[in-house]
């Protein structure tokens, strides 16, 4: 039986959803135009006024917003409510330059929590569950988002945050955690650590909600098998609210976007042209219910596709495919687009653990792609000749996937540094910028 947190919304008719979107878009555009000078100027430059936006059909008239706009407007430039009405900020984990700071009123927090509650209930969560939140807390949206959603559902919430794996496992056993929320790479690490300690029978996990980084279907199967759970994908970004912008149902066939709050478009990243459903392109979001920090046509840099065919779970909201990776993560090696997720797919399909590192360097003006991969303990005990035969096979499989040569180095188990948050998969030594 499918479970819904808000069935009247999650299973609303398409006409109803469209009606909400039209009404809320018109309201939000006016709200932003009247209260945000930065955005008013952008609209004026494009010759658009709120009167031009009467329905979702007019969305394409609005200018795009990019991460650069958010950096330019830091910290208060895109704030649409008086600061005295705001109750929280969250911020992105930007590695360089200015961070992005997002503001929330209590209304915005409530809606965000509801989105996360929908994800938890879709993963089978009820008030009887113990929700183990191992996303980072603090400025990062992962911990606070799932924490709030779990409260809405009425589950017992364990605000574990990331790190301290020993304590994570101990609480998981002692308090009977049933739903694990964290990054997929940390879930894989926890699974490995639980098995190593012989505690697989002591855990009561039934589901996991994993997001905040790219992961492959192979990695999903690996985690599901090792922990004996069903693994659900969740998607979101701080700029738009946090996790819960979209989430997976039990069908595991794409993530339902909460369309009563967010309008999704797919565009050609080079021309900005809106692409038809089913085509792969850059995901663009317009938030239509937020008060403090509503963004219109925000370019996410995520490459994916939308699917409007009805889902057998009964939810009527459009589904987005798992992003192929952020276009920021995309590496250009020898002129070819390479996504770390493609490399991971090959490794897991060949039976390697998801512990790898991609190193890109430049020798004699030519790019060199190198993949460091950990062997399983069984592989490690093989003869040296078997190991080089394995390397040779992997080079072939990677070439078939990527279209270019990648050097492969198989290393001993546990030699690649483990991560307790987002995994560091790529090291680019080329100093191109």
Q: Which residues bind Zn ion (CB under 5 A)?
A: 249, 251, 311, 313, 315
Phi, psi at residue 347, to the nearest 5°? -60, -50
What minimum distance in Å lies between the beta carbon of 247 and Zn ion? Answer: 9
Q: What is the DSSP letter of 274?
A: B
In sequence order, what are the beta bridge partners of 332?
337
Q: Which residue, 2 or 272, has its beta carbon nearer to Zn ion?
A: 2
Residue 385 to residues 135, 350, 392: CA-CA distances in angstroms? 42, 18, 11
Tokens of 204: 């009561």
Q: Which residue, 2 or 63, has its beta carbon nearer to Zn ion?
A: 2
Q: Which residue, 144 or 236, has its beta carbon nearer to Zn ion?
A: 236
Angle between helices 384-402 and 340-349 (to 10 degrees): 140
Q: Which residue, 118 or 425, has its beta carbon nearer to Zn ion?
A: 118
Q: Are 87 and 104 in contact (CB under 8 A)?
A: yes
What minimum distance in Å lies between the beta carbon of 222 and Zn ion? Answer: 23
**Could you identify the residue written with the tokens 């008030």?**
127
DSSP 403-430: SS--EEEEE-TT-SPP-SSS---EEE--
Angle between helices 217-227 and 184-196 (to 10 degrees): 30
What minimum distance in Å lies between the beta carbon of 234 and Zn ion? Answer: 13
Q: Which residue, 36 or 249, has its beta carbon nearer to Zn ion?
A: 249
Q: Which residue, 220 or 390, has its beta carbon nearer to Zn ion?
A: 220
What minimum distance in Å lies between the beta carbon of 100 and Zn ion? Answer: 30
Q: Distance between CA atoms of 359 and 426, rounded to whole angstroms?
A: 6
Tokens of 192: 């490995």
What minimum distance in Å lies between the beta carbon of 315 and Zn ion? Answer: 5
Q: Which residue, 58 or 251, has its beta carbon nearer to Zn ion?
A: 251
What minimum distance in Å lies between the beta carbon of 243 and Zn ion? Answer: 18
Strand boundaries in 278-406, DSSP class E = 281-287, 298-304, 306-307, 319-320, 331-333, 336-338, 356-363, 366-374
Q: Are 339 and 330 in contact (CB under 8 A)?
A: yes
Q: Distance between CA atoms of 262 and 33, rounded to whole angstroms?
A: 18
Q: Which residue, 24 or 315, has its beta carbon nearer to Zn ion?
A: 315
| Nearest one of 276, 4, 261 to 121, comparing CA atoms | 4
CA atoms within 13 A on the CB side of 395: 14
Q: Distance between CA atoms of 240 and 220, rounded to whole angstroms?
A: 26
Q: Which residue, 234 or 338, has its beta carbon nearer to Zn ion?
A: 234
Q: Distance between CA atoms of 33 and 26, rounded to whole angstroms?
A: 11
Length of the chain: 433
Q: Which residue, 212 or 311, has its beta carbon nearer to Zn ion?
A: 311
What minimum distance in Å lies between the beta carbon of 259 and Zn ion? Answer: 13
What minimum distance in Å lies between the beta carbon of 312 and Zn ion? Answer: 7
What minimum distance in Å lies between the beta carbon of 419 and Zn ion? Answer: 31
What minimum distance in Å lies between the beta carbon of 255 and Zn ion? Answer: 9
């Amino acid at each position: 039986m499918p479970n819904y947190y808000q069935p009247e919304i999650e299973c609303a008719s398409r006409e109803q959803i469209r009606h909400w979107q039209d009404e809320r878009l018109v309201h939000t555009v006016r709200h932003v135009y009247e209260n945000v000078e930065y955005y008013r100027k952008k609209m004026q430059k494009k010759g658009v006024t709120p009167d031009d936006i009467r329905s979702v059909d007019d969305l394409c008239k609005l200018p795009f917003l990019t991460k650069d706009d958010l950096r330019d407007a830091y910290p208060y430039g895109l704030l649409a409510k008086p600061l005295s009405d705001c109750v929280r900020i969250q911020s992105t984990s930007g590695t360089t330059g200015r961070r992005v700071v997002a503001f929330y009123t209590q209304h915005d927090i409530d809606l965000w929590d509801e989105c996360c509650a929908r994800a938890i209930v879709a993963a089978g969560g009820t008030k009887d569950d113990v929700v183990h939140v191992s996303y980072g807390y603090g400025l990062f949206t992962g911990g606070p988002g799932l924490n709030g959603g779990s409260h809405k559902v009425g589950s017992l919430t364990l605000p574990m945050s990331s790190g301290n794996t020993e304590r994570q496992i101990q609480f998981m056993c002692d308090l009977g955690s049933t739903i694990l929320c964290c990054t997929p790479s940390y879930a894989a690490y926890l699974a490995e650590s639980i098995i190593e300690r012989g505690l697989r029978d002591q855990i009561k996990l039934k589901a996991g909600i994993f997001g905040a980084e790219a992961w492959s279907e192979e990695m999903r199967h690996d985690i599901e098998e090792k922990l004996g759970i069903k693994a659900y994908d969740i998607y979101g970004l701080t700029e738009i609210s946090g996790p819960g912008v979209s989430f997976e149902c039990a069908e595991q066939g794409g993530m339902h976007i909460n369309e009563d709050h967010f309008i999704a478009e797919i565009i050609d990243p080079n021309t900005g042209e809106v692409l038809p459903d089913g085509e792969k392109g850059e995901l663009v979001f317009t938030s239509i219910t937020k008060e403090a920090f509503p963004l219109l046509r925000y370019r996410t840099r995520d490459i994916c596709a939308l699917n409007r065919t009805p889902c057998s779970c009964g939810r009527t909201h459009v589904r987005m495919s798992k992003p192929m990776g952020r276009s920021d993560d995309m590496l250009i090696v020898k002129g070819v687009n390479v996504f770390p997720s493609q490399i991971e797919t090959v490794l897991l399909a060949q039976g390697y653990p998801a512990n790898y590192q991609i190193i890109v360097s430049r020798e004699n003006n030519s790019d060199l792609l190198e993949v460091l991969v950990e062997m399983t303990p069984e592989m490690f005990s093989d003869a040296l000749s078997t190991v080089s035969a394995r390397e040779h096979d992997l080079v072939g499989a990677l070439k078939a996937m990527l279209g270019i040569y990648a050097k492969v180095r198989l290393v001993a188990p546990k030699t690649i540094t483990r991560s307790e948050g987002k995994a560091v998969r790529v090291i680019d030594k080329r100093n191109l910028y």
